[in-house]
Structure 1
Amino acid sequence: MSVNLQKGQKISLEKESGGALGKVTMGLGWDAIKTKGFLGFGSKSEAVDLDASCVMFDESNRPLDVIWFRQLKSRDGSVVHTGDNRTGAGDGDDEQINVDLNAVPAAARSLVFTVNSFTGQNFSQVENAYCRLLDAANGKEVARFNLSVQGSHTAQIMAKVYRHNGEWKMHAIGENASGRTFDDLLPLIVPHL
């Protein structure tokens, strides 16, 4: 059973999945913007390029590594981005970031997942945007965070997966922001670490 996360909510990934999670997938999905033509006749779709990123932080809240469309794999290989989707076309997750929690280096304390509108549309224009966390072993959805808080923001700090007392937990941050890439969000991420 999936947990629908609310902004600020924290959950234990091990309890929600029914056991220790070894590999998780953060999925991001959205739909292209549909606009009606002149006098309601005809319609067209406007491509939206949302980008999922993962920033790995150490105990001192310094970035260790970043996984995004320009670097699809962490240097240690524990985090892998499946590739950049520039349109939102198709069903299901449009972008995914796979994390082998057992291989995440001991120096990494937290992984922060962000989403940015690279093409600049704000989320009030983007339909059906969500992020979710899956148990990669069986494809079971562990948690979902709907990006349904519509507004003029172009980015969101979605969630943090972090180590606490030897187990992995998830914090649904849900912080609205503006920016085309994760770089623009770094000053806003630090208070949530």
Structure 2
Amino acid sequence: MGISLKKSESVSLAKAAQDGLSHISLGVGWDVAKKGFFGGLLGGGGDIDLDASCITFDADKTVLELVWFGKLTNASGTIRHSGDNLTGEGDGDDESIVIQLDKLDSRVEYIVLTVNSFRGQTFDKVANAFGRVVDARSGREIARFDISDSGPHTGFVLASLSRNGGQWDFKAIGERTGGRTVQDLTGPARAIL
């Protein structure tokens, strides 16, 4: 298990990885919130369709590219999305985004990981949500951010990666927002950088 981060905490990926880091996976997982004696579903729904996405920015905080379930790779193929999970069922990462850090366009200074509810289901219907960064070559978890922030919002700016002297830092953000698509979350993502 990697370093457990709280909101606004960060970690240097180079220091945490020790043996160099060229490929990472940003994973997101969640479950449907349960309540009541028999574990009835909150709000009566059965599945929660959250979407993990990433937004790349340059040094001026201009959006370069979006990678999400509707566009599974960036133009150079250095960022790849695992595909859309419509339910949140199962253990581990429900959606993940693999990034080749060593081959990214040199203009990319920031990468922001967002989560949104495409169907408009709110985060008060979500439980056990997390974001994590994994060394994609070894499968070792480097850092994890458990999300306990439920509420009536439909979007979440989860975390960011930023260049730091040629290396990358991972920061847990945990900022609630509205929006049902990654395009809706670009403004809030830019604002936190």
State whether TM-score is above 0.5: yes
Q: Residues 14 and 47 from structure 1, CA distance in 2 versus in 1: closer, same or farther, beyond 3 angstroms?
A: same
Q: Which residue of 2 aligns with 1:60?
A: 60
Q: Are 1:34 and 1:46, in contact at CA under 8 Å, matched by a contact in 2?
A: no
Q: Over aligned residue pairs, what C-alpha RMSD do you find?
A: 1.9
Q: Report if the CA contact (8 A) 1:14-1:21 is conserved.
A: yes
Q: Give the conservation status (yes or no) of the 8 Å contact 1:53–1:66.
A: yes
Alpha-carbon offset, residue 164 of structure 1: 1.1
TM-score, structure 1 normalization: 0.92
Q: CA deviation at 1:24?
A: 0.3
The amino acid across from 2:137 in the alignment is A
SS at match of 1:25: strand
Equivalent-residue separation in structure 1 for 2:162 and 2:21 (angstroms): 13
Please show how residues 39-188 of structure 1 align to structure 2 within 5 Å: 46-188=46-188
Relative to 1, partners in 2 of residues 1:45 and 1:92: Cα closer, same or farther, differing over 3 Å? Answer: farther
Alignment: residue pair count: 191
* Structure 1, unaligned runs of 5 or more: none
In structure 2, list runs of 5 or more residues that go unmatched: none
Q: Distance in 2 between matches of 1:143 and 1:100?
A: 17
Percent of pairs with identical residues: 41
Distance in 2 between residues matched to 1:94 and 1:128, nearest whole Å: 12
Whole-angstrom distance in 2 between the partners of 1:120 and 1:128: 19
Equivalent position amino acid for 1:97 in 2: I
- d(CA) in 1 for partners of 2:23 and 2:39? 47
Instruction: Say if 2:131 and 2:147, in contact at 8 Å, map to a contact too.
Output: yes
Shift of 1:80: 0.0
2:21 counterpart SS class? coil
